[in-house]
Amino acid sequence: MRLLFIGDIVGRAGRAAVVEHLPRLRDMWKLDFVVVNVENAAGGFGITESIADEVLQAGADCMTLGNHAWDQKEALVFIERQPRLLRPVNFPPGTPGRGANVFEARNGANVLVMNVMGRIFMDPLDDPFAAVERELSACPIGVGCDAAVIDIHAETTSEKYAMGHFVDGRATLVVGTHTHAPTADHHVLQHGTGYLSDAGMTGDFDSVIGMDKDEPLRRFTRKISGGRFEPANGPATLCGVAVDVNDATGLAKQIAPVRIGGRLSKAMPDFW
């Protein structure tokens, strides 16, 4: 199975990059399954139903969220009727939506996708490790699904690495989101789980983590707010990670970064 994960879409520039590149990548790489993090897609904060539909039409099979899940209040409503949009699984019981779901890939495989939020320097949600254990135990690779993808939306690399080792051999991919800076530590862990600390953002890197530079600089240098943060709207880089999956085991054979367009150096998998 050929799997692509795309990092946090930020604003209109990030959405344009996905609409431009994803249909071509699906055809060129013959992708079986695509996950996109969309928690910053609507003006940098949250997701709307129309934007979710746009991302799905571009070729996403599933979308994940994070700490900005409810910034657009309509998400509290439409997430209930959109099974392909996942919020963090460790939100308290009774939170709208779902944090994990099984989807059918284009090759017929069943893929478990899970969105979980870290707790270090983040909102203190329920234990992410216990939540992930619960979902993996209920739907293990080889029994309930053919592959499993975990988007850990977290601030620290230590928490992300701990999650990777916690599920090593039981998940296809553990990929970090939230910090918007792509990391260079992509590798397959000892027992076969693909790992990357942060997929990076899909947005304009002539910015402060996707936001127009003026307001963040004003707040850092003068400690005065001059208004709300606005996404930068220059040419965006699509950032993510590609995984070549062993169909017999559901684990990762190879993993490679993806960077296309914008200001960052280009990176493409060489195994497809």
Report, as residue numbers or ranges, the catalytic residues: 68
Residue where the block lists tokens 């690779």: 141
Return the structure tokens found at 109. Answer: 């495989």
Cα dihedral 9, 14, 17, 21 in deg (nearest 10) = 0
The contacts of residue 254 (CB under 8 Å, 6+ apart) are: 188, 243, 244, 269, 271
Rounded to 10 degrees, the C-alpha dihedral 2/183/12/97 comes to 70
Residue 157 burial (10 A CB sphere; 0-12, 13-18, 19+) = middle
Q: CA angle, corner 139, sides to 135 and 141, nearest 5?
A: 120
